[in-house]
Structure 1
Amino acid sequence: MASTLDAVRASLKRRFSPSRYLRHSNGLRRVAIGGAGSEWVVSRALCAYAVFECPALSAARRKAFLDTAVRRWAPFPDPQFHAEWVGRKAMVWAWSKAVVGTLGGGVDDDPAAATPRRILPESIFVGSVDDAGAVLLAVAEGVEGRVWRERVLVASRWWRQSPDRVEWNEFLRGSGLPAIDDVPIPEPAPLSARGWSLTGGDHLAGLALRYRSQALAAIAGLVTFSLMVPIAGAGRALWIESRIEAEIAAKDEGLQRIMRAREAAERDAARAAGLLALRPPARQSELLPAVLPLLGQNVRILEWRLPTPDSLEVTLALPNPDPLALVQAWQDSGRFRDVTADLGRSAGEVTVRGRILARSAEAAP
């Protein structure tokens, strides 16, 4: 009985999983058989790799930002790419749509092979995530050097054959690591059934993929049960299947609400920052007590103006004015910068101008 159930589960898993093909330099090679269309794994030899730092944006704006950044960086005029996120950092593998789509060779017995549901890079199906360090992997074509830092693949380079010591040390130094005496032996890196980066993604696509896999596994188990109990099992399978689909829809709706709330919060924060930027660095009641000690004795203020919210212009009348001394005193006060002083047309008249500096938190009362 156990062997029969295992065989049924394996059959259902193949039915609900896509056939997987490795897209290498000479065409397609099937690496897994399934019954739900096909997906391609693009050889590392056909991919370029880079890491992008994304500002704090909503999910939709983050995708648009990355699309633009990849188009500017990619060494192809028609890039397609796959990204894996760690915080604000995107690990990106890109390939040429035309080159990958027109490579010769294929699998004649599977018409779906030519129209994959999705295309993913080979790198996420070989090796594993590491906290730090360098590793050399033997991939489907050639070898791939990797440098990890804080679980981010900060550097990746492909060679047709194992690099010599000079090439390997250039790669290490370019990634911020010291040179070594011996090149490591490439570690065998066969394709795994599930990508290392697809198990812990925190973006919306990763969540949707994870929930769908759980739903398909539950459906497969229910179909197995219905085969053993034809009438009651089939009815229960349909009921539970509808429950699962409803839960998936509810989770998706909740994620959409969170995304909308975050976008609204970001808009409000930007609006508040814009309003705060309109405030002058200091109030008039603060400026006058700050300026008076800088003027000395027997000084009259003829005119007091704020041409802009962050600048002050004061016209003074004083005996024997010394513009340089006034400029020095205002600069040293810590409340002004870019200070200038010009003698006026009348004797003893001088105009002092300066940019107002905000008072530091430590100096505030």
Structure 2
Amino acid sequence: MTLRKTLAAYFLPTRRLIGIEDGPLQHGGRLGGAQWVVPRAHCQYRRLDMAAIPVRQRAAAARLALAAQLPAPGALCTVAWKDGIGHAWIWIDPPVDFAAGRRRWIAESLLAPPPLGDGARMLQLAVGVEGQVWKGGQLLASQWWPQPPDDEGWGRFLRSAGLDRATPLPAAEQFAWRAEPWGTQTHDWMAGSVEARERLAWVGAAALVALIAGWQLTALARWHFASEGLAQQLELARAEVAPVLAARERAEHAQAEAQRLRELQHGTSDYEMMSQVVAALPEGVQLASWRREPGRLVAVVNGGDGDPRTFVSAFVRQPPLNEVAAVPAGTGMQLTFDLADAGAQGVP
């Protein structure tokens, strides 16, 4: 089943024969609403040949043609179009709800399946029978009787349709209602009709698709413009940071050159040695003086608990300062580091 048929099934109406209890019932879709089937016994049939009239003007021409044929002022009409031919059913005495347009209706004859070939046939209806003559896929004539006609009545009907009146009366055919009428009704596009609801659903679906597509296109356009804006901002930022990047490159080059020069020095420098001593001192102890001698380093510190072992243990794991002697000196402590064995003599 195609998508269109699946969607159309939801809008098929639930049909019930009007005026007859326990009559035929045709279940429709959830969104189809109700549509009353008017028995052929309550309708008159008219055939309108509008093939020579432009399509857009056919409905108006049919209304004008039928206005002069209405049997009563309150009669209702429905026209089913099929290839330029209008098939009209006139409901002679409709109830008030139908006359006011608050309920939908369809002629019983429109729900009978068309014959496979040309000729006359008899249909068994809910009330009475209907004689039909078909030619070229079009209904040519229709006549209702409360019961099958006699040969004379059948012959008159055939003669009015241009057929041989000697054609025998066929047996009345039973039929089931079609899901769709065999002709397109002019009032099908009125608000609340099956076709109107289906059309509204398709328009809504198309609008939703257009909305989604428009949202996507808008998002893509915004992304495109944002990308161009970011590209321009990036170019401006590059132009602004170019001097900074050049200065950074020069600084890195100078740092590399300084590192190269430091690597030319043999041994440990005094500044590096001093930083190692200060870093290893116990908390609260401050470096008071510093003296570098060949093969050793003499430092005087202030603070601490005055225990030489505290200072010795502080440097025992700090080569090349692990060879240290601590001697009290006044209010402080003199630390003598032996550097000769560690091979850490540097340039004084």
TM-score (norm 1): 0.46
Larger Rg belongs to = 2
